[in-house]
């Protein structure tokens, strides 16, 4: 694993990426880049991380052939079960890795932002394992939407800080975490939750999540005897999708990222950054973002708090423009359909985020060759979402 | 010679330090902002710093965040701020420096921004989320138009980085006094003199200090070590309290800051 694998130029994916942050943070980013390169090549550090991912988090996760879903859609569908990981989503792969880095770098305090609460829970968990104090910034709006995860973080010993500024959602939580980091940069490690932010974060988080695709690729060869024709995953910031895609980047595999279409692209109430956004700078990186004609970042909407973000990782912007990956958007309704389809055919309650990928698969199945093999990244489980789903379906939970 | 260069040269010749008050354009309205700028100019300001409101101001504390939200609620855009600059330019002698996050500038287009800002009579631009290594494209768009791009130095900057900040800056260099975001503080950071001294080894450009400078006494302390004193959140607080009627309070505060700055060298 090298710090610059896949990068073109210093911290750039084509014209995307870079470091658009206050000068105060640049030395800390330099330090992180150097320490990450050193530690990721250190066999002792790697062994401790791999052992924890195995014995504590539950890696490798299964690759599951979804027979009934496959029959229903006329495809061969393989599901990568990140929902079975400790804490219930792929977020733990990244959180454990970054918190172990923080500990090895001698940092005394962990901060993180969270939207759905999954990254906050994962970071609070990792901080507990490492014995470090943890504070999580969360938009006041999301605290209401994802109260179960707020309680989980508190039980894990983390302090949850309500963010009242701006749109009171994930983007403002990241702003507030960045302000905290600017102020406490000497002692504090900022565990960012997706492949976003200034270099080296998009690369660092990609490398930590690439285990998803590495395992899935080997499992496909072993279980299916071939690579998938298509790999598909949901895209919020883009960490589970890049984690799945990375191992297939040089293979003849179609890569599809699915964004949140919210109420529909036509309504303006969505979070489809790559599909409907334009290039710009947010949270330290040049990438795509949802913005108005004056360059102000727009409010987003999605039924899934984890996809409700106006930015996206710079590597996805590069994959979109280079044509190596394609991106689609599915609305709240389709995500709910996808959720119900998977529950009914396979007995899996998925999180609403990857339910967008299932919903998209349902839409595109008729356009794929019959019997095509599809690898789906199931990034998390749906326990956190049952209240939202019940309300959306007009039922009491 | 650029307007910034001649202003600082004149001050230096008189043994004086610059007072640079800051406000957020459009807070509470663009007309009020024009009045406030007149007030700054007649109350002892040497350079006028105009903030362009942005939805995600990561280098700002709560006071400037709230000001930006008020300005955005009124629909203030970068184009509006350039129009405002053009409107006040003919009647004000002081250099005008914009402070804008990078995305509104990118969205307008670097070329267009360089041209429009220069035509509006803007003299310099500070971009708090643009370190020198990312600043090449903006500098390339600004320099042919005579627009100075000012980079920031921070207490965490290594000597190598200070050299880069100094070498990339035109007009003056902006020294961030503290490790943190903008805001009203009780005290001036203790090591400001040290940071200015480290930066001084790399540049003959004027060095102006901002972030956290909140009172006339702070202004006096900072003017003792730097060429200019930038006062932001404390002024924005006066505007927050007074709204469009803040002019008398603003005039009084800026005059007091002026007295503080002048007391340092007297
Ligand atoms: C289960 C799950 N999937 C996906 C996401 C979106 O993040 P990313 O696009 O970085 O994978 C989240 C974010 O909270 C999540 O909880």
Residue B190: its pLDDT value, please? 86
Q: Are the beta carbons of A195 and A339 closer than 8 angstroms? A: no
Put simply, whether A161 touches B (Cβ < 8 Å) is no
Residue A2: its pLDDT value, please? 36
End-to-end CA distance of chain A: 45
Q: What is the CATH number of domain B3-12+19-147+216-263?
A: 3.20.20.70
**What's the A379 CA to ligand 1 centre distance in angstroms?**
7
B52-92 pLDDT, tens digit each: 999 999 999 999 999 999 999 999 999 999 999 999 999 99
* pTM over 0.95, yes/no: yes
φ/ψ (deg, to 5) at B194: -65, -45
Residue A166: its pLDDT value, please? 87
Put simply, whether A300 touches B (Cβ < 8 Å) is no
Tell me the pairing of strands A76-81 and A63-65: antiparallel
The SS3 call for residue A290 is: coil
Q: DSSP character for A265? A: G
CA A23-B192-B44 angle, to 5 degrees, is 95
CA distance B219 to chain A (A): 22
Enumerate the residues of chain A whose CB falls inside 8 A of the CB of residue B102. Answer: 20, 281
Tell me the pairing of strands B173-176 and B207-210: parallel
Residue B1: its pLDDT value, please? 82
CA B216/CA B210 separation, integer angstroms: 13
Atom of ligand 1 nearest to the CA of A89: 1
Q: Where do runs of H (alpha helix) occur along chain A?
A: 26-40, 43-52, 67-73, 91-104, 118-130, 140-145, 147-155, 170-184, 201-209, 211-223, 239-245, 273-276, 314-322, 332-346, 352-364, 386-392
**Once rounded to an integer, what is the mean pLDDT over residues B115-143?**
98
Distances, alpha carbon A338 to alpha carbons A123, A344, A360, B10, in Å = 28, 10, 8, 70
Put simply, whether A281 touches B (Cβ < 8 Å) is yes
Tell me the Ramachandran region of residue A131: left when phi exceeds 0, alpha when psi lies from -120 to 50, beta otherwise.
left
Put simply, whether A147 touches B (Cβ < 8 Å) is no
Q: Are the beta carbons of A100 and A46 closer than 8 angstroms? A: no
A232-287 pLDDT, tens digit each: 999 999 999 999 999 999 999 999 999 999 999 999 999 999 999 999 999 999 99
**What's the A306 CA to ligand 1 centre distance in angstroms?**
5
Name which of A22, A182, A282 is nearest B103 (Cβ-Cβ): A282
- In the block, tokens 């930015």 appear at A311
B217-263 pLDDT, tens digit each: 999 999 999 999 999 999 999 999 999 999 999 999 999 999 999 99
Which residue in chain B has the smallest CA separation from A170? B56
CB contact under 8 A, B152 and A297: no
Residue A396: its pLDDT value, please? 65
Put simply, whether A165 touches B (Cβ < 8 Å) is yes
Task: Pick from A242, A307, A357, A376 the residue to mutate for probing ligand 1's pocket: most ligand atoms within 8 Å of its CB.
Answer: A307
Enumerate the residues of chain B whose CB falls inside 8 A of the CB of residue A21. Answer: 58, 129, 131
**Once rounded to an integer, what is the mean pLDDT over residues A379-390?**
93
Distances, alpha carbon A69 to alpha carbons A79, A344, A352, B199, in Å = 10, 9, 17, 65
Ligand 1 pocket member A234 (CB < 6 A): yes
Residue nearest atom 15 of ligand 1, based on CA coordinates: A306
CA A213/CA A83 separation, integer angstroms: 15
A17-40 pLDDT, tens digit each: 999 999 999 999 999 999 999 999
Tell me the pairing of strands A285-289 and A278-282: antiparallel
Distances, alpha carbon B221 to alpha carbons B8, B15, B205, B224, in Å = 19, 16, 20, 5
**What's the A235 CA to ligand 1 centre distance in angstroms?**
7
A1 pLDDT above the threshold of 60: no
Structure tokens at A71: 């029959």
Q: DSSP character for A299? A: P
Radius of gyration of chain A (CA): 19
Q: Are the beta carbons of A220 and A228 closer than 8 angstroms? A: yes
Structure tokens at B133: 């290594």
CA B130/CA B126 separation, integer angstroms: 9
Closest by Cα among A95, A376, A87, A117 to A258: A376
The overall average pLDDT reported for chain A is 95
Residues 6+ apart with CB under 8 A from B52: B25, B76, B78, B81, B98, B99, B100, B101, B104
A58-72 pLDDT, tens digit each: 999 999 999 999 999
Residue nearest atom 14 of ligand 1, based on CA coordinates: A306
Put simply, whether A163 touches B (Cβ < 8 Å) is no
Least confident of A8-17, A369-378, B126-135, B229-238: A8-17
Residue A325: its pLDDT value, please? 98
Residue B116: its pLDDT value, please? 98
Atom of ligand 1 nearest to the CA of A235: 9
Ligand 1 pocket member A97 (CB < 6 A): no
**What's the A240 CA to ligand 1 centre distance in angstroms?**
7
B11-40 pLDDT, tens digit each: 999 999 999 999 999 999 999 999 999 999
- In the block, tokens 């195995």 appear at A54
CA B117/CA A316 separation, integer angstroms: 33
Residue A158: its pLDDT value, please? 98
For B151-169, give the secondary structure using H, E and C: CEECCCCCHHHHHHHHHHC
Active-site annotation holds for B60: yes
CA B119/CA B107 separation, integer angstroms: 18
CA B116/CA B139 separation, integer angstroms: 15
For chain B, give the secondary structure using H, E and C: CCHHHHHHHHHHHHCCCEEEEEEECCCCCHHHHHHHHHHHHHCCCCCEEEECCCCCCCCCCHHHHHHHHHHHHCCCCHHHHHHHHHHHHHHCCCCEEEECCHHHHHHHCHHHHHHHHHHHCCCEEECCCCCHHHCHHHHHHHHHHCCEEECEECCCCCHHHHHHHHHHCCCCEEEECCCCCCCCCCCCCCCHHHHHHHHHCCCCCCEEEECCCCCHHHHHHHHCCCCEEEECHHHHHHHHHHHHHCHHHHHHHHHHHHHHHHHHHC
């Amino acid at each position: 694993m090298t710090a610059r694998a896949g990068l073109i130029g210093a911290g750039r994916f084509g014209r995307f990426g870079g470091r658009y942050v206050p000068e105060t943070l640049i030395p800390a980013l330099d330090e992180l880049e150097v320490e990450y390169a050193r530690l990721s090549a250190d066999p002792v550090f790697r062994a401790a991380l791999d052992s924890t991912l195995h014995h504590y988090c539950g890696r490798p996760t299964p690759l599951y052939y979804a027979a009934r879903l496959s029959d229903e859609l006329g495809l061969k569908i393989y599901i990568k079960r990140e929902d079975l990981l400790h804490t219930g989503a792929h977020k733990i792969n990244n959180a454990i890795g970054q918190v172990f880095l923080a500990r090895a770098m001698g940092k005394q305090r962990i901060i993180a932002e969270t939207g759905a609460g999954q990254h906050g829970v994962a970071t609070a968990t990792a901080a507990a394992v490492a014995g470090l104090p943890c504070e999580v910034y969360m938009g006041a709006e999301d605290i209401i939407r994802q109260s179960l995860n707020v309680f989980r973080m508190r039980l894990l010993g983390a302090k949850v800080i309500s963010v009242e500024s701006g749109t009171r959602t994930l983007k403002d939580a990241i702003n507030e975490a960045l302000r905290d980091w600017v102020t406490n940069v000497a002692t504090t490690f900022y565990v960012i939750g997706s492949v976003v932010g200034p270099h080296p974060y998009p690369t660092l988080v990609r490398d930590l999540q690439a285990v998803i695709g590495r395992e899935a690729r080997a499992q496909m060869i072993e279980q299916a005897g071939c690579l998938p024709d298509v790999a598909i995953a949901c895209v919020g910031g883009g960490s589970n999708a890049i984690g799945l895609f990375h191992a297939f980047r040089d293979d003849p595999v179609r890569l599809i990222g699915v964004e949140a279409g919210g109420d529909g692209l036509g309504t303006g109430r969505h979070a489809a950054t790559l599909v409907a956004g334009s290039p710009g700078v947010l949270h330290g990186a040049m990438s795509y973002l949802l913005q108005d004609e004056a360059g102000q970042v727009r409010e987003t909407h999605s039924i899934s708090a984890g996809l409700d973000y106006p930015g996206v990782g710079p590597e996805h912007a590069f994959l979109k423009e280079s044509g190596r990956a394609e991106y689609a958007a599915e609305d709240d309704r389709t995500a709910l359909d996808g959720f119900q389809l998977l529950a009914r055919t396979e007995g899996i309650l998925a999180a609403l985020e990857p339910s967008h990928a299932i919903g998209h698969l349902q839409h595109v199945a008729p356009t794929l060759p019959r019997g095509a093999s599809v690898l789906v990244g199931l990034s998390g489980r749906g326990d956190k979402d049952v209240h939202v789903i019940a309300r959306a379906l007009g039922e009491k939970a | 010679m650029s307007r910034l260069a001649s202003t600082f040269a004149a001050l230096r010749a008189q043994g004086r330090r610059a007072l640079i008050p800051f406000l957020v354009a459009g807070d509470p309205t663009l007309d009020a902002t024009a009045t406030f700028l007149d007030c700054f100019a007649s109350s002892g300001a040497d350079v006028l710093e105009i903030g362009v409101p942005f939805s995600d101001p990561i280098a700002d504390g709560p006071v400037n965040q709230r000001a930006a939200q008020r300005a955005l609620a009124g629909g203030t855009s970068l184009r509006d701020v350039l129009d405002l600059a053009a409107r006040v330019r003919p009647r004000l002698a002081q250099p005008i420096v914009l402070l804008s996050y990078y995305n509104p500038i990118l969205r307008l287009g670097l070329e267009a921004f360089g041209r429009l800002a220069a035509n509006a009579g803007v003299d310099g631009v500070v971009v708090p989320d643009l370190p020198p290594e990312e600043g090449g494209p903006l500098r390339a768009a600004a320099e042919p138009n005579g627009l100075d791009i000012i980079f920031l130095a921070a207490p965490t900057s290594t000597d190598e980085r200070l050299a880069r900040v100094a070498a990339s800056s035109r007009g003056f260099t902006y020294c961030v006094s503290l490790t943190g975001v903008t805001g009203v503080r009780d005290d001036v950071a203790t090591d400001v003199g040290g940071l200015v001294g480290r930066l001084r080894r790399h540049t003959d450009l004027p060095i102006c200090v901002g972030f956290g400078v909140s009172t006339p006494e702070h202004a006096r302390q900072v003017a003792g070590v730097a060429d200019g004193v930038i006062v932001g959140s404390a002024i924005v607080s006066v505007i927050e309290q007074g709204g469009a009627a803040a002019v008398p309070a603003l005039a009084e505060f800026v005059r007091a800051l002026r007295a503080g700055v002048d007391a340092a060298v007297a």
